[in-house]
């Protein structure tokens, strides 16, 4: 029977006392499971009101407790891959009282940020970053002659990234003290795919390994001295020799330990105490459950990876509104593929986010999820194109950046018939700067052979997809997160004339070119300018490359001001292309540009951020009025 002093009173809560990592070290070991439960309860409560990455954070509660119990940040460095699973770390490092501001404007960011806390040693929102960055930190530590610990925490999905293996290939030769935690929950956003996922599963399921691992576990629980360390190495070497195939991490120079239960705090703590004594690069393989402690998140890990507000008691979200661009893409491509057997669809671990889940259900043999491997995805598409297929490579704009070399060197240079579908182009709201798709016009418009476009609404989006399906050569489309205007496609799709804009309204004084989802803002700005007495032309450009130079020159020669609106940075964007062309033609009509400034845009709701940075109809009107003073609006006096 436990003594009275070892019992935890029923009304005691530990989370309110955690104001920094040192407070976790003060708790008794038997109190830590309750702390873990309190953290989960708080995460569910807060994220039900704000949205966020619930599932990943529920899965790393015990891991984060153990890390902070054994190591000491900010001296020791935790490098989280992607870092969307860093909410618990934020709660433990002085930000618990602000956790309710997560992903809100001027609140905590949904990823780690170096500017947010000294405990965030590295910020990242893309997968595969942790191992290389952490290895660089370890080498930097070695060169400085200091003794801090560097711990990289990467999910199993990060090991579908080639970058992770590039780091592993160098670890043994470049440092002696380096800890990698492989957090294996079998999920990235969707279920992990490919040989690596199968390989890790084989390690976990191998009965020979499991028996030997029990011995290793008992050893770790009773660590004592140099002889014990030597015994541990012998056990692990024996395990390695008996496994078929052998442990790939050991072949790459990382001493492999595991797999162990990633929700067993005492075991995690003792294992980390052991690993911090090792004078060689080590990899600890832990098994966790994404969404642990919350049944709705366990049942639907992909849905609860990252979501908006939900009912905490049931996990239910608000009814879906208008179909999103992503949904239209998946359903439309699936329909096109019924008659065109050459259409295939490729994604990089994002079947639900990109809408390709609909295509997968309809055409499973022509759907390919390559894991978090955008470079491979692009080259894979190139190979398919050489065989007469029509690959639609569907990746978020921010992640397509990772395949930039392939876009130039392989797709464009060889003029291959690959369609680039860039989801989340423009501002991505509460996801913040790592996920805003604000650079793709700039990184594509100067590349030869590429056609690039953006639709003003869903109806035009379907027409553009049909145009892509019937085009030969590299072609790209950018479209925003979520739903558009609600313009339901009607009738059969039509092929659009490449490089031909749509003139929606003629006018003499001001010509507004509103690209894509900014056309709505152009319409609003046009109405406000008309109230000031201006005659306004409204143009839906459609084409970023090639520009409709004929329409542009026509309005530039006949108007007092040209205006451009784009959901993209101004530098090297659509408006810059307009200015460049007018300059080459010696047309000196002034150009007013509305777009995002030359800085990384913070997280927050789209209306708040647009207002703050002047991406509004009022901002455009103000600039036009400054260039061309308000038209005379003489009011005739009424008869006496």
For residue 391, give the CATH number of its domain: 3.40.50.970
CATH code, domain carrying 557: 3.40.50.920
The three-class DSSP label of residue 510 is strand
Residue 539: asked if its preceding bond is cis (omega within 30°), the reply is no
Which stretches of the chain score pLDDT less than 50? 1-5, 188-190, 210-213, 215-216, 219-220, 223-246, 632-640
Q: Which of these three, 419, 443, 478, is where a domain ends?
A: 478
**Six-digit token pair at 446?**
């100067």
62 occurs within a structural domain: no
Residue 548 in contact with residue 530, Cβ under 8 Å? Answer: no
Do 471 and 511 have their domain in common? no
Q: Is the peptide bond between 98 and the residue preceding it cis, with omega within 30 degrees of 0?
A: no
369-400 CB burial, b ≥16 within 10 A, e <16: bbbbbbbbbbbbbbebbeeebbbbbbbbbbbb
- Longest CA pairwise span in the chain (Å): 110
Shared-domain flag, residues 401 and 532 = no
Are 258 and 159 contained in the same domain? yes
From the candidates 402, 445, 478, 481, give the one annotated as an active-site residue: 402
* Of 148, 167, 151, residue with least CA distance to 159: 167
Assigned domain for 123 exists: yes
The question of whether 402 is a catalytic residue gets the answer: yes
Integer Cα distance of 573 and 559 in angstroms:
22
CA distance 96 to 104: 15
Radius of gyration of the chain (CA): 28
pLDDT at 191: 53
For residues 32 and 304, what is the distance between their CA atoms, to the nearest angstrom? 25
**What is the rounded CA–CA span in Å between residue 72 and residue 92?**
12
Q: Look at residue 425 and tell me if it is in a domain.
A: yes
Domain-embedded: residue 489 = no
The reply to whether 261 and 370 lie within a common domain is: no
Answer with the one of 444, 478, 512 that is the final residue of a domain.
478
Is the domain of 231 the same as that of 273? yes
Please tell me the total count of domains within the chain. Answer: 3
Q: Is 67 within the bounds of a domain?
A: no
Q: What is the pLDDT of residue 630?
A: 66
- 364 with 458, same domain? yes
Range(s) of the domain holding residue 119: 75-84+108-299
441 and 359 co-located in one domain: yes
Q: Which of helix, strand or coil describes residue 46?
A: helix
Same domain, yes or no: 337 and 461 = yes
Q: 290 an active-site residue?
A: yes
Angle at CA of residue 487, ends 425 and 310, nearest 5°: 65
Comparing CA positions, the residue from 534, 540, 598, 532 lying closest to residue 565 is: 540
Residues in a beta bridge with 453? 477, 543
Distances (CA, A) of 229 to 53, 224, 275, 276: 38, 8, 10, 12
- How many Cα neighbours within 13 Å face the side chain of 559? 28
CA separation for the pair 517, 438 (Å, rounded): 13
Do 381 and 512 fall within a single domain?
Answer: no
The pLDDT of residue 159 is 85
Q: Are strands 536-540 and 502-505 parallel, antiparallel or unpaired?
A: antiparallel
For the beta carbon of residue 7, count every other beta carbon within 10 angstroms.
10
Give the distance from CA 394 to its chain's centroid: 14
**Residues of the chain with pLDDT > 70: what percent?**
87
Question: Residue 423: beta bridge partners?
Answer: 396
- Interacting residues of 465 by C-beta distance below 8 A, sequence separation 6+: 329, 332, 333, 336, 477, 493
Does 589 lie in the same domain as 468?
no
Residue 595 corresponds to which tokens in the numbers above?
Answer: 């777009």
The whole-number pLDDT of residue 384 equals 98
> How far apart, in Å, are the Cα atoms of 419 and each of 251, 477, 484?
38, 8, 21
Mark which of 248, 264, 299 sits at the end of a domain.
299
Indicate which residue of 42, 186, 374, 460 is catalytic: 374
Q: Is residue 38 part of a domain?
A: no
Q: Is 530 a catalytic residue?
A: no
Q: Looking at the DSSP assignment, which residues form a beta bridge with residue 79?
A: 152
pLDDT for 291 equals 83
**Per the domain annotation, does 36 fall within a domain?**
no
What pLDDT score was predicted for residue 242?
41
Residues 603, 505: contact at Cβ < 8 Å? Answer: no
Check if the beta carbon of residue 355 is closer than 8 Å to that of residue 377.
Answer: no
Q: What are phi and psi of 281, to 5 degrees?
A: -65, 135
Q: Both tokens of residue 439? A: 């650079």
d(CA 81, CA 182): 10
Tokens for 527? Answer: 């109405």
Same domain, yes or no: 543 and 580: yes
Q: Are residues 439 and 575 in the same domain?
A: no
Assigned domain for 47 exists: no
DSSP state of 391: E
Which tokens belong to 338?
């019924």
């Amino acid at each position: 029977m436990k003594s009275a002093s070892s019992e935890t009173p029923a009304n005691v809560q530990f989370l309110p006392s955690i104001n920094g990592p040192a407070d976790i070290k003060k708790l008794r070991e038997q109190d830590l499971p309750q702390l873990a439960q309190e953290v989960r309860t708080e995460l569910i409560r807060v994220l039900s009101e704000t949205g966020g990455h619930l599932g990943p954070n529920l899965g790393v509660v015990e891991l984060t407790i153990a890390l902070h119990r054994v190591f000491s940040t900010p001296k020791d460095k935790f490098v989280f891959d992607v870092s969307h699973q860093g909410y618990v770390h934020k709660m433990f490092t002085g930000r618990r009282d602000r956790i309710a501001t997560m992903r809100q404007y001027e609140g905590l960011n949904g990823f780690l940020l170096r500017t947010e806390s000294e405990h965030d040693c590295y910020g990242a929102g893309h997968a595969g970053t942790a191992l290389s960055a952490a290895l660089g930190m370890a080498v930097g530590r070695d060169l400085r002659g200091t003794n801090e610990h560097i711990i990289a925490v990467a999910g199993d999905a990060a090991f579908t990234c080639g970058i992770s293996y590039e780091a592993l290939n160098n670890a043994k030769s470049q440092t002696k003290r380096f800890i990698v935690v492989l957090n294996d929950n079998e999920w990235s956003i969707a279920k992990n795919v490919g040989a690596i996922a199968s390989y890790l599963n084989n390690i976990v399921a191998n009965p020979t390994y499991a028996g030997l691992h029990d011995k290793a576990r008992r050893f770790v629980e009773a660590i004592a001295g140099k002889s014990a360390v030597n015994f541990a190495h012998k056990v692990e070497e024996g395990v390695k020799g008996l496994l078929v195939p052998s442990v790939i991490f050991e072949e790459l120079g990382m001493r492999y330990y595991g797999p162990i239960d990633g929700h067993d705090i005492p075991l995690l703590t003792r294992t980390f105490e052991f690993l911090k004594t090792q004078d060689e690069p080590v990899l600890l393989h832990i098994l966790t459950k994404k969404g642990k402690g919350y049944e709705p998140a366990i049942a639907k890990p992909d849905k609860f990876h990252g979501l908006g507000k939900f009912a905490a008691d049931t996990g239910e979200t608000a009814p879906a509104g208008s179909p999103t661009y992503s949904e239209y893409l998946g359903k439309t491509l699936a329909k096109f593929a019924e008659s065109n057997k050459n259409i295939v669809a490729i994604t990089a671990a994002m079947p639900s986010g990109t809408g390709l889940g609909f295509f997968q259900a309809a055409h499973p043999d022509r759907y390919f999820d390559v894991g978090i491997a955008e470079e491979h995805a692009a080259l894979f598409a190139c190979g398919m194109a050489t065989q007469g297929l029509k690959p639609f490579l569907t990746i978020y704009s921010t992640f397509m950046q990772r395949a930039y070399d392939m876009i130039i060197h392989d797709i464009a240079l060889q003029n291959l018939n690959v369609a680039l579908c860039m989801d989340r182009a423009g501002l991505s709201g509460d996801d913040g700067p790592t996920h805003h798709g604000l650079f793709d016009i700039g990184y594509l418009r100067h590349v030869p052979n590429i056609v690039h476009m953006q639709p003003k609404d869903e109806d035009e989006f379907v027409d553009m997809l049909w145009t892509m399906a019937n085009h030969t050569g590299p072609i790209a489309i950018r479209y925003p997160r979520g739903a558009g205007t609600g313009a339901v496609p009607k009738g059969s799709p039509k092929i659009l004339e490449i490089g031909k804009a749509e003139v929606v309204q003629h006018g003499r004084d001001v010509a507004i070119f509103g690209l894509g989802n900014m056309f709505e803002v152009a319409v609003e700005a046009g109405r406000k300018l008309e109230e000031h007495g201006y005659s306004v032309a409204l143009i839906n450009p459609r084409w970023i490359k090639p520009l409709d130079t004929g329409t542009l020159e026509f309005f530039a020669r006949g108007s007092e001001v040209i205006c451009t609106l784009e959901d993209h940075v101004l530098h090297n964007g659509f408006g810059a292309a307009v200015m460049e062309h007018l300059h080459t033609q010696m047309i000196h009509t002034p150009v007013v540009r509305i777009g995002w400034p030359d800085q990384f845009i913070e997280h927050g709701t789209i209306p708040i951020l647009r207002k703050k940075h002047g991406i509004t109809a009022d901002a455009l009107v103000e600039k036009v009025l400054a260039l061309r003073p308000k038209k005379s609006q003489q009011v005739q006096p009424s008869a006496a």
